[in-house]
Amino acid sequence: MVIYVPPKPKDFKGNFWKTKDFKISIGKITDKNGSEVSEDTLTPMGPTPKPGVTDLRSWDLKLLNRYEPFYAPFCDMCCLCTYGKCDLLEKKGACGIDAEAQQARMMLLVCCIGSAAHIGHARNLLEHLIKKYGEDVPLDLGMNIDIETPIMTVVVGKKPKNLEDLREALDYVEEQISHLLSACHTGQEGNSIDFESKSLHAGLMDNLGKEIGDIAQIVALNLPKGDVRCSTGRTGTRNH
């Protein structure tokens, strides 16, 4: 792969650091045959784009093995279905769940609630901004940001270019939260570690949903883009 830098003769005249308004541009990226390589093909697709609820389970289990969950007494009872109330103090519920799995189940439920709050807000925001400014608003964060959507690019495997492209990721997030919530239903899951793995997935979806809402409002409402504000003329040391 060869990177061509088009020559841009510039006469800096004296002190380089006092030079203003100069630009650096990098030309097309080509492969060894001289064909242009598109930005989308620079990185090969990973093994799990848009991972489902169980796709990252083995990795979750590694994490949970290293950072073992701690269960503090939360509630001895379960009131989540009409077979109950069930007393789980050293007993199993009518559905067969024990206190440890019930604690993990409640944690997944809590994670889904929090994630849904952020994701619902991101959906409202995105649809409102598309309605007001159009689908084609570019995801331009200026020269200092190389990867506009780091979580979406890694998890979904795509580099979105405009507001419309964010919809696909948000559809995926909403679908996953629906699956995760269904695992909280009576009799769907019985192992605390599997609930914990799903809680980690809910956290991943939460962060992705927040990223989508955040990037949408930054580009559409022209919010601060993390520009580096530093005067090169004021760097250096003073001897007096």
Shortest distance, CB of residue 92 to ligand SF4, whole angstroms? Answer: 8
**Least distance in angstroms from the C-beta of 31 to ligand SF4:** 58
The residue among 12 and 83 lying less far from ligand SF4, judged by its C-beta, is 83
101 forms part of the interface with ligand SF4 (CB under 6 A): no
106 near ligand SF4 (CB under 6 A): no
Site string for ligand SF4, 179-218 (x = CB under 6 A): -------x--------------------------------
Total of residues contacting ligand SF4 (CB under 6 A)? 13
Beta-bridge mates of residue 30: 2, 36
C-alpha neighbours within 13 Å on the C-beta side of residue 20: 2
Length of the chain: 240
SS3 166: helix
Closer CB to ligand SF4, residue 102 or residue 149? 102
Q: What is the 3-state secondary structure (H, E, C) of 22-81?
A: CCCCCCCEECCCCCECCHHHCCCCCCCCCCCCCCCHHHHHHHHHHCCCCCCCCCCEECCC
Per CB under 6 A, contacts with ligand SF4 among 58-97 are 78-81, 83-86, 93-95, 97
Helix, strand, coil % in the chain, rounded to nearest 5: 45, 5, 50
**Angle CA(100)–CA(54)–CA(148) in degrees, nearest 5?**
115
Least Å from the CB of residue 189 to ligand SF4: 11
Nearer to ligand SF4, 85 or 121 (CB): 85
Q: Does 103 bind ligand SF4 (CB under 6 A)?
A: no
**19, two tokens:** 């030079």
Please, what is the minimum distance in Å from the beta carbon of residue 183 to ligand SF4? 12
Instruction: Please tell me the number of Cα atoms within 13 Å of 202 on its side-chain side.
Output: 29
**Binding positions for ligand SF4, rule: CB under 6 A:** 78-81, 83-86, 93-95, 97, 186
